[in-house]
């Protein structure tokens, strides 16, 4: 059936079919036609996926009292009998590589990929299958790395920098064939010591710990560009890309997005009542931006809260609509630091 024939079916049938297509295929469908792009981004698709409980969030906290810090994982997903409410539970996700406490983490479909080589040289790759709850060892990188940046572009994981020998500056892991191959070499050698890494415009962008800038590696030709980050303690929050737009939450300013055409940071409007907090985790969840933060409740624990924000782009910019109330997910020990939030889907 051709795209035009499929689109001519009754609208509710089209939505029901597309809601059951693996979410990782949506970017490819969006490239097929303008109509498909609108369909996979429609609120109706996300409502059906929510009823089907297709997506979930994996939330990682790091225990700051241990050296090295140890991860603790929780999941957030729709309750079975209420498609609006979420259930928040602890999961046993015991990472098998005891020498690596802070691997780079990428979610693709129902799997989570742990690319080792954060503070120790490593070429290891581990894969967690959320359906079975089991780890398996993946193919090793071609070289050992440390202090590298990792990003997902299309159906490939790109690893940039961190190879002290310099012979293979970047390489990619094909998620379909599960093989590593060299990627275009960088124009110049540099240190990729970043607090967060995102994928934007087919580039792997490292938001640097120092220098208040983001350095972007173009996966097509190896060229590197950079843009400024607003000067604030932004590394206490997390960056998030939705529909190829980069969002960063600033404690004093609120939610901002980067205008790649004008090369300026702009405020997401309509969120005046959004609580100003410092430590935030952000990720896409059923077509909306899920914002998670902590609140000290007294004693030995702190509360974890979540609020969903709908985003809409127009000629004037991007506006946000926050759900009326925030949801208390649960409590964690005060020594837990919010580390990563990942969106995992069937």
Residue 153, pLDDT score: 96
Residues 206 and 214: beta-carbon distance below 8 Å: yes
Residue 298, pLDDT score: 77
Nearest to 194 by CA among 204, 184, 186: 204
Structure letter (DSSP) for residue 185: P
**Tens-digit pLDDT profile for the chain (346 aa)?**
666 777 788 888 988 999 999 888 888 888 888 888 888 888 899 889 988 889 999 999 999 998 888 899 999 998 887 767 788 999 988 888 877 878 999 999 999 999 998 888 999 999 999 999 999 999 999 999 988 999 999 999 999 998 877 778 899 999 999 999 999 998 777 777 787 899 999 999 998 877 788 899 999 999 999 998 876 665 556 789 999 999 998 888 889 999 999 999 999 999 988 877 777 899 999 999 999 999 987 789 999 999 999 999 999 999 999 998 899 999 999 999 999 999 999 8
> What are the sequence ranges of the domains in the chain?
11-47, 95-191
Transcribe 40-58 into DSSP letters: HTSHHHHHHHHHHT-EEEE
In order of 76, 92, 118, 119, the CA distances from 68 in angstroms are 26, 19, 12, 10
Residues composing the chain? 346
Q: Is 314 helix (H, G, I), strand (E, B) or coil?
A: strand
Residues 317 and 311: beta-carbon distance below 8 Å: no
Transcribe 123-168 into DSSP letters: --EEEEETTTTEEEE-PPPSS-BSS-EEEEETTEEEEES--TT-S-
- Taking the C-alpha atoms of residue 164 and residue 182, their distance in angstroms, rounded to an integer, is 16
Residue 89, pLDDT score: 92
């Amino acid at each position: 059936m051709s795209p035009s024939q499929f689109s001519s079916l009754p609208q509710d049938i089209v939505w029901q079919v597309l809601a059951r297509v693996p979410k990782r295929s949506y970017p490819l469908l969006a490239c097929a036609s303008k109509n498909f792009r609108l369909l996979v981004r429609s609120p109706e698709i996300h409502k059906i996926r929510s009823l089907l409980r297709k997506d979930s969030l994996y939330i990682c906290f790091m225990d700051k009292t241990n050296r090295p810090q140890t991860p603790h994982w929780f999941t957030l997903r729709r309750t079975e009998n209420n498609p609006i409410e979420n259930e928040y539970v602890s999961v046993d996700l015991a990472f098998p590589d005891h020498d690596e406490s802070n691997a780079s983490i990428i979610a693709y479909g129902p799997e989570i990929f742990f690319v080792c080589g954060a503070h120790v040289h490593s070429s290891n790759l581990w894969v967690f299958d959320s359906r079975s709850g089991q780890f398996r060892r993946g193919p090793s990188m071609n070289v050992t790395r440390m202090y590298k940046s990792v990003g997902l572009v299309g159906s490939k994981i790109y690893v940039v920098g961190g190879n002290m020998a310099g012979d293979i500056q970047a390489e990619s892991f094909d998620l379909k064939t599960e093989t590593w191959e060299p990627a275009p070499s960088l124009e110049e050698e540099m240190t990729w010591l970043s607090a967060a890494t995102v994928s934007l415009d087919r580039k792997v962008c490292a938001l640097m710990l120092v220098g208040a800038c983001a350095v972007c590696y173009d996966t097509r030709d190896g060229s590197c560009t950079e843009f400024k980050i607003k000067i604030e303690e932004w590394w206490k929050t997390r960056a998030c890309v939705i529909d190829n737009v980069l969002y960063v939450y600033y404690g004093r300013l609120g939610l901002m997005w980067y205008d790649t055409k004008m090369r300026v940071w702009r405020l997401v409007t309509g969120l005046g009542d959004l609580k100003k907090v410092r430590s935030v985790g952000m990720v896409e969840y059923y077509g909306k931006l899920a914002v998670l933060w902590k609140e000290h409740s007294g004693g030995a624990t702190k509360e974890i809260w979540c609020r969903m924000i709908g985003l809409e782009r127009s000629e004037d910019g991007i506006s946000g609509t926050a759900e009326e109330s925030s949801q208390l997910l649960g409590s964690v020990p005060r020594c837990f630091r919010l580390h990563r939030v990942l969106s995992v889907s069937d």
